[in-house]
Amino acid sequence: MTQSTNLQTDFQAILHNLEAARGQSIFLTTTQLLVWASKIFERAGLSSQDAMIMARTCVYPERDGALSHGLFRLPNYLQTLVAGNVNINAQPTVVQETPSLLVVDAQNGLAQPALQTVYEQLVQKTRETGLCVVLLRRAFHIAALWMDVEPLARQGFVALTCVNASSCVAPAPGTSAVYGTNPMAFACPREGHEPLVFDQASSLRARGDVMLSARAGEEVPLGTGMNSEGELTQNPKEILKGGALLPFGGYKGASIAMMVEILAAALTGGQFSWEIDRWSQPTPDTASAGQFLLCIDPTVAGQTMFAQRIQDLAQKLLDSGQSRLPGDLRYTTRAKTESEGIKVDADLLLGWYEQTNTGVNTSG
């Protein structure tokens, strides 16, 4: 029996369990959820390889408790794929290469498969020269960024990445959106422990978290954003409908958002956030954003005890009273869900399955 047949058999079993659980929640393992999500992406037109890559972008954050970037994002991906906003047949191309640089045109396709095509080159160049920079343009990326850097830290590297997106964040001071949430993620190895990893937006709150609050009918903290009149509001729907998010720390967060705009848009040759015309598309999510990724090998710089020094730093932080380190909460949640399973709404998953089909628009 081939792997494809095994996955199909597993999917049918999962589908049967979901049907039996209509109207209630059910616990699935990470593997089961990956099989289910990859099948959904295949039905939306992706190849089996790309479908599994995209399944991980939704399932792993859900497993780790990062719900704003977990299964919550799957409908956005499906709507975008079906509408033809993203080129599902994209063939990412390396348009410029040096011993420590890869400039990649994602051809208006998905960012994660595009990065995967140059991953081995990235690792090889980092080991050979001590560092490598990937500049990715014309890519669609609304996933958690830590997934792009944590695997590199597990290989002993220090990694930093950032992306821009369609504008929804005002500068400081400012009353209209110029930047995207412009998140960045960082990871590095830590001797005897999981890597140190953080993933954060330049805005006070990630747009996905504001969307979750809007869906739940909850207010957001004052300072999260403003309405279309430029007035502070705690109503997430007013922020999302013609308003703007605000950067964390005022001008300090705005400066970081500007830096991300320069690294992920100007340097990659991609579009600035305000140049991405999200409203002319069939759905408000479209490609054309950019991503900057820097990977460094500490050993090439002679830092053979780097991971131990990071552990010394981490211990000092804990001794000083810091209750947990970046990434700890995700690792704790990951261990729990790997043991107990991931709680999902059966009706929600079945609804997404029923909405997908193989007749999608492949232009992008």
Residue positions annotated with a catalytic role: 68-69, 209
d(CA 281, CA 286): 7
Question: Is the CB of residue 199 less than 8 Å from the CB of residue 150?
Answer: no
d(CA 144, CA 164): 13
d(CA 267, CA 247): 22
Look at residues 316, 326, 106 and name the one whose alpha carbon lies nearest to residue 197.
326
Q: Which amino acid is present at 236?
A: P
Tokens of 126: 């980092």
| Residue with the two structure tokens 């792997």 | 3
Look at residues 348, 342, 349, 345 and name the one whose alpha carbon lies nearest to residue 64.
342
DSSP string, 35-61: HHHHHHHHHTT--HHHHHHHHHHHHHH
Question: Is the CB of residue 227 less than 8 Å from the CB of residue 233?
Answer: yes
d(CA 190, CA 198): 13
- For residue 228, the surrounding DSSP H or E stretch is none
Tokens of 281: 């598309």
Look at residues 13, 53, 10, 5 and name the one whose alpha carbon lies nearest to residue 35.
10
d(CA 263, CA 290): 9
DSSP string, 265-301: IITTT---GGG--GGGSSSS----EEEEEEEE-GGGG
Sort strands 225-226 and 232-233 into parallel, antiparallel or unpaired: antiparallel
Q: Which amino acid is present at 195?
A: P
